[in-house]
Each structure stands twice: as C-alpha cells, then as structure tokens.
Chain A
Amino acid sequence: KQEVTQIPAALSVPEGENLVLNCSFTDSAIYNLQWFRQDPGKGLTSLLLIQSSQREQTSGRLNASLDKSSGRSTLYIAASQPGDSATYLCAVNTGGFKTIFGAGTRLFVKA
C-alpha cells in the first residue's frame, strides 16, 4: 500500500531564505508526482508535475526533483517571500485513478 510522508510538518523561515520541502513514498511504481500549494480556505493550486521518467521540473523560483528508486521528492523554493506562506502538498499518482496525498508542510515566511 502506497504511503506518502511529508517532512517537516511545519516550517517557519525568514524572508529571503532558500528552503527544501521533502516528500517520501513507499512504492516506487508511480506514474507521476505532483506538488500543490493550498492557501487557507482555498482549493489546491498545481505547482509542478514530474512524470516518472523525469528527474526534475522547474518553474520560476521552484524546483522539484524526483528520485523514484529511493522514493523521494523535494521541492526547493529559492529566495522565499511572505507570499509563499501556505501549505504545500505532494501527491503521488499510482495509476488506476488513485492519487495518494501527503499530509502537507505548513510554511510560514516571516517578513
């Protein structure tokens, strides 16, 4: 059974700091992995999608990596800003319409 774990559960950093959020999964047989951002009381916004054959994806200040063999993905945020404060979730697509979500990392960037 696929399990997805995100560490840390919460993180508080000063503005401008580079940071890494971690996501691990127990079964490497995945179709893809997706990182989302959720603001309080809102839906999820897709940040990056990494297919199983890819190693990383980049969008602006965000870079996500995928190491399927070790069951790990990281989301790197460069030069963090207060507007980056949100909950970040990773989601593993295992196929068959099944997507397993991590519990999320709550990020707070202090001005």
Chain B
Amino acid sequence: GAVVSQHPSRVICKSGTSVKIECRSLDFQATTMFWYRQFPKQSLMLMATSNEGSKATYEQGVEKDKFLINHASLTLSTLTVTSAHPEDSSFYICSARRGRDTGELFFGEGSRLTVL
C-alpha cells in the first residue's frame, strides 16, 4: 500500500526552541496533506490542512504563528513548532489522501514531541 513517512518519530527539545517535523508521501503525489495532534487516549484533532504551493488552512483555535506549515512540493509537508513550550508536548501525526476526494487516506508514523 501507499506509504507516508514522518520524521522524526521522537524529539525532545528545550523550551523556547523550534522543532521541525517532516511528512513525506513516498509513492504518490499529495497536493493536500493534513496535520493532527493527538492527546493521550483521545482521538485525532485536525490542526491544519497543508496545500502545496499555497498557505495552509488552520482549524479554529490553532495558532498559525506557533505551528508553521510549509508544503513546498507534492511529496513533502513540514510542521514547525516555534518557540516550543511544555504545553506543546504531544503526539503529532500527518496524513495524505491518495488521488482525489474519494481516495484512501494514509497516515505517517507520528512524532512524539517532548518540550522540557
């Protein structure tokens, strides 16, 4: 099946630093990718929709200056958590839909961010 790769799987950083997470679709082009945040034992919370070549669309309540999204190519989207604080510690997951609106959704392996 199609593969979406996410890196790094785990990252620990100091408060105030910035962290970049990459999401790649390995065997299909993705004009749109999605970034989620997941709290322990809870379902996924959509943070933003990443659009290739244009600005990301953020969900209500998500700070776009805190969570910078760049979708520079058809296979790569990045999420940068800027000036990270301990409350930003979470599990971040990306996904991409193969094909058009009715295509299958594939997820990355997730990235565990811990801010000290």
Seen from chain A, the residues whose Cβ lies within 8 Å of a Cβ on chain B are 31-32, 34, 36, 41-46, 49, 51, 89, 91, 93, 95-97, 99, 101-104
How many B residues have CB within 8 A of the partner chain? 24
Report whether over half of chain B's contact residues are helix, strand or loop; otherwise say mixed.
strand
Chain B residue contacts of A32, Cβ below 8 A: 102
Q: Tell me if B102 and A101 are in contact (CB < 8 A).
A: no
The complex places the Cα of A36 from the Cα of B43 at a distance, in Å, of 12
Seen from chain B, the residues whose Cβ lies within 8 Å of a Cβ on chain A are 1, 6, 32, 34, 42-44, 46, 49, 57, 91, 93, 95, 97, 101-102, 104-110, 112
Q: Known contacts A101-B43, A101-B44; is A43 also within 8 Å of B102 by CB?
A: no
Q: Tell me if B110 and A46 are in contact (CB < 8 A).
A: no
Q: 12 more A-B contacts (CB under 8 A) besides A96-B101, A97-B57?
A: A32-B102, A42-B110, A43-B6, A43-B107, A43-B109, A44-B44, A44-B95, A44-B107, A89-B44, A97-B32, A101-B43, A103-B43
Chain B residue contacts of A46, Cβ below 8 A: 1, 104-107
Report whether over half of chain A's contact residues are helix, strand or loop; otherwise say mixed.
strand
Distance in Å from the Cβ of A38 to the closest Cβ of chain B? 9
